[in-house]
Structure formats: structure tokens, C-alpha cells
Amino acid sequence: MYPNWILQRAYVTPLRSALTYEGQTWTFQQLNELSLKRARQLSAINIKQGQRIAIMGPSTPALVVMMYACMHLQCEMVMLNRRLSQAEIAYQLEDSQAEVVLVADEDVAKLPPHTSYHIFTAIENGAEQSVDIAKEWSLNQTTSIMYTSGTTGFPKGVRQTVGNHQASATASVLNIGLQADDVWLCAVPLFHISGFSILVRSLLYGNKVQLYEHFNVDAIAQNIMDGNVTHMSVVAVTLERILNTLELNNAVASPRFKLMLAGGGPVPVDYLKRANALHLAVAQTYGMTETSSQTATLASEDAMKKIGSAGKPLFFNQIKISAPNGQGEGEICIRGPHVTPGYIGRFAERSSTEEGWLHTGDIGYMDEDGYLFVVDRRADLIISGGENIYPAEIENVLLAHPAVQEAGVCGIDDEKWGQVPIAFVVLKEQIAIEILQQYCENKLAKYKVPKQFIIIDELPRNGANKLLRRKLLELLSTE
């Protein structure tokens, strides 16, 4: 058993600043008191300890307090991505069998019709009911559940336990170090593993989080120039915007700014060179929802000599390459205490590991010095602005349209987002492309909607009649 993180942090450093948002700051003691009150209010609306709760809202202190209240109640939090369509959210609610939905007032319209829910303000203004708060948590207790798209096109609900999050945070701090005045800037969504892991690290490390609801590049660049934040998590597209803003202001990063973790796909070499010129330390990292954030991270001092590498496994983690080819490339497999124990819903019976190893489906190799290089983030995966997009998911939507006979989706390079999806469609009957686009917009998150729809006579397939997505891009040259 391990201590309740929120209670323990409030006990150890009660008056230390925990969270800053739009000029207001809360200490760890204040956050604990607020979240305990919210837990009593949740109890008053009959939410039980250990229940599976779906939660959705923007990245604000109200969401942080609601999450901490659910953690006090040892609830399993299904983190709903507020960028998804109603149809996608409906799938996750049904698959997760969440017993209660908690939603920020401004997000109610994002929920599917006929969903039963409790809005934040009603809870915040509601009655309280006494409840016993556990002072200790089990390492095997599921804390969060996040959906990640699967190669089947059906998103999988990934469990992350107290032990998973604790191991991830501990391995990270052993890698990057810790000082009492560290401040982690969080401008990534709290419903993503990258955002939630920042909150976990704050509780375990005792460092302050500078929270942003939206990515405000001017304010963030100013934070970096002033040095009132020390760490930040980014993806390539947000890193470039920060670099561009610093360059336009003829500014460099403050010496007090220590490190920027860059995940969500490879960082272009040009970005690393520009960051180096701006005295901005960038560490490329490799991780996934199934590993509660980082698995490997490239030390900033190695950024230029190991360009393209995701670094070495963090302290408790292991990486191996399964069935390597002649060039040493094979499937990346991961083992460690940060790896999920499994899934929920339709994938509940699927084991997350084989003989203790998580098979990622990603292709990579380890060089002679033990540095990991990711060759392909799952053969068909599209990474757009740090968001993972699986072609099968979009294809399943298109194939449900009565006018579509076949559909194939792949990614093309995009200057702003890294990649964007495009769709190749074989029609049963003539239909306007605008109708297909509107159909996808009704079913998919905006970033998943194909940027082009190309009508063709047949899709490239192999002898077993399987779609060859890697051949789709070749069709563009014949258009």
C-alpha cells in the first residue's frame, strides 16, 4: 500500500504553490481541501468509492479539483477527449460502462443525446455528505482510463494504475532531476496521458504547475523568456510555434528554463538546430498511453549527436527489438512497471503483454550505443499535431456510408501539422465529395476528417486481398 498522493503532498508541503492559472495560485493544502469538499459533494449525489466515472472538461482548475476528488474516492476515471465527435464519445461511454458522467457546463453539448450527466457547477454548489477517504492506495488500483485508437478501428480503453503512474513519474525524475522551485508548464490537454502525467508528477514531486486551457504561444514564449517556468511538454507543431515566436522577438530561453520534452512523433532536425540556437534544451521522448507517458527519453546533451533518436529507456524500463531484420529493425517491445495491466470493454480479454513484454506495433532499432530510433509509429499510423490517427477508424466510418464500396486512408506530409489524413474511395454510386466530407465531420473529430477525398476505381491490394495502404500515396502521382 502507498499513501494517497493528494493527502500526502498536502501533509509534506502544505504551503508550497501547486497550481497557477490566469494569475491565481493554489497551494497543495488548498487543492486538497477543495478536492475533499468536492469528494463529499460527489458522495452527496450518490457516487460511490471505486465506481467507474467518465469525466470531461477543459483544462482548468475546476477539472483538476474534480479529478482529485475522484482520486480521493478511488474512482476509475474515464478521461473523455472533448475534441471527439458525439458518436466517438458515445462509443467510449458504452464500451467503458461508466456509471456516472461528470461534465463541465460548457461541454454538455458535446455529449451524445440522452446521456445522463452531472454538471460541474451543480456539484460545486451542491450539498455535502460525509465520506471516509482512504489514506492509502493499492499499486494495482486503476486510477485513469484513456482511449487510444486501435488498428482494428475500434478504440481501446487503456487502464493506468497507481503503480503505473508512480513508476512513470519516478523514472522521469531520476532522468531529469528535481528542485523544489521547478515549475512545469502544462498546455497539453489533461485528458491526454501527457497532461495527466504532469499532474501526477506535481503531486509526487511537489512542484508547481502553470496551467493553460489553450495553447497561448505568446504567453508561453514569455514564460520561457522570463524563466518563471522550468519544464514543458510539447509536440513538434507546438515546438515550432514557440521557436518562431522567440525568433520573431529576437529572444532566447532564460537560463532558468531547463528542459522541453518533445513527444508525439519525431522532431524535425531543423527544429532541434533552431532550439539549440535559442538556448532551448529539447529532449525527444518516446511513450504511449499504454506506458503512462515516457518510456525512453533522449538527454538534451545528446540531441545533436543522436539526431532522430528517442534516447535510452528510463531507469526502470526495458526495450527490446523483436524479430529484427538485417538492418536491426523490428517491433519495439517494452517491459516495466509503467506498462498497463490491460484494457476494458470489448478488449478486456486481450492481454496487454506477451511473456511480460508490451508489443507496441512500432518499428524501430537500437544503435550500437543503446539508443532507440523509431522508424515507423505503427506502419499505418498518422500523427497529426501530436494526435494519433488510425486509418482503419476513418475507413470504418466511410464504409458505413451507403454510397461507399471501398475506402483506404493514409497520411500525407503537412507543413503545419506534420501529417494529415487523406482518403481514397471507391464508390457504389455517384456522390458529391462535399457530402462525404460532411458525413465524416458528423462522425469524427475535426483532426481526423480527411483533408482530401480522391475517387478511384480500385484500391491496391495484395494476393490475400488485403489493402496496401503504403501504395495509396503512389496513386497521387497518377491523378
CB 97 within 8 A of CB 83: no
**Do the beta carbons of residue 295 and residue 338 sit within 8 Å?**
yes
CA distances from 8 to 137, 178, 442 (A): 11, 18, 45
The DSSP string of 242-268 is HHHHHHHTT----TT--EEEEESSPPP
The CB density around residue 320, as the number of other CB atoms within 10 Å, is 14
Query: Can you tell me which residue has the cell 513527444?
Result: 263
Are β-strands 76-79 and 52-56 bridged in parallel, bridged antiparallel, or unpaired?
A: parallel
Residues 266 and 308 sit within 8 Å (Cβ to Cβ): yes
The total of other beta-carbon atoms located within 10 Å of residue 48's CB is 14
In contact, 291 and 264? CB cutoff 8 Å: no
Please, are residues 281 and 302 in contact by the beta-carbon 8 Å criterion? no
**Residue whose C-alpha is closest to residue 318's, from 282, 346, 360:** 360
Give the pLDDT confidence score for residue 87 in this predicted structure: 93
Q: Percentage of the chain with pLDDT > 70?
A: 96
Query: Where do we find the cell 531484420?
Result: 325
Kindly report, residue by residue over 28-71, the tens digit of the pLDDT.
999 999 999 999 999 999 999 999 999 999 999 999 999 999 99
Q: CA-to-CA distance for 30 and 262, rounded, in angstroms?
A: 31
- In the prediction, which pLDDT does 349 show? 94
| pLDDT tens for each residue of 213-254 | 999 999 999 999 999 999 999 988 889 899 999 999 999 999
Tell me how far the alpha carbon of residue 286 is from its chain's centroid.
Answer: 12
Q: How would you class 405 by CB atoms within 10 Å of its CB: exposed for 0-12, middle for 13-18, buried for 19 or more? A: middle
The pTM of the full predicted model, rounded to 2 decimals, is: 0.86
Task: Residue 215: name the closest of 197, 201, 234 by CA.
Answer: 234
Domains of the chain: 2-137 (3.40.50.980), 175-376 (3.40.50.12780), 382-476 (3.30.300.30)
Query: For the chain, which ranges sit under pLDDT 70?
Result: 149-153, 266, 376-379, 462-466, 477-479
CA–CA separation, 348 and 343 (whole Å):
5
Query: So what's the pLDDT on residue 464?
Result: 47
Residue keyed to cell 452531472 = 118
- Note the pLDDT of residue 151: 54
Report CA Rg, the chain.
23
- Per the CB < 8 A criterion, the answer to whether 366 and 321 are in contact is yes
Average model confidence (pLDDT) for the chain? 93
pLDDT attached to residue 477: 67
Burial class (CB in 10 A: 0-12, 13-18, 19+), 55: buried
State the burial class of residue 329 (Cβ atoms within 10 Å of its Cβ: 0-12, 13-18, 19+).
middle
Whether the CB-CB separation of 372 and 312 falls below 8 Å is answered with yes
Cell of 241: 510555434
Q: What is the structure's pLDDT at 463? A: 46
pLDDT at position 153 is 65
Give pLDDT, residue 186: 97
DSSP-H helix ranges across 370-410: 391-399
C-alpha–C-alpha distance, residues 468 and 155, integer Å: 22
